[in-house]
Amino acid sequence: MILQVLVALFFLLNSVIFANDFREDFKITLKKDEQKKILVKYGNKEKIFAFRWTLYVNDGLVVLHSYDKSVAQNVLYLNHKNQSIRIVLRNDGKSFYNSPYFLLKFNEFDAKKNEAKFELYLYDSAMQIELKFLKNKN
């Protein structure tokens, strides 16, 4: 009986200690060159985060992304330390360590459908950020 209580307590404490700090997470599937745009709103500011992938070769996915006049390209790999990108959404200096950010993680590539699957995590401990997923125009 005591052993069962200790095991239950161990798992309960681990779930509290290792709980993630992400406010929201989204699953996104994109075909080659299909762009995903997200309107990021905080205070009286509105900015667009946009990303797409252009090439999958040698198990590496080339991802292009832009936010707040910054454009970048990254190569992401599955099961590797280069599996995700961190994009700071608001950095006003006073709370540098708690700045809200996106973590864009490459999860899977479906070669038959030519699709890449991502998870987008939002870290926003101060609840400052409002998101709106914009529809793609054809």
The CATH number that applies at residue 126 is 2.60.98
The pTM assigned to this predicted structure is 0.79
What is the pLDDT at residue 137?
65
How many domains would you assign to the chain?
A: 1
Residue 125 lies in domain = 21-134
Q: Confirm whether 1 is domain-assigned.
A: no
What is the pLDDT at residue 36?
97
Kindly give the parts of the chain with pLDDT less than 70: 1-20, 92-97, 137-138
Distance (Å, whole) CA 50 – CA 32? 14
What is the pLDDT at residue 7?
44
Place of tokens 């995903």: 36
- List b or e across 38-73, with b for residues whose CB sees 16 or more CB atoms inside 10 angstroms: bebebeeeeeebebbbeebeeebbebbbbbeeeeee
What is the pLDDT at residue 3?
52
What is the pLDDT at residue 96?
58
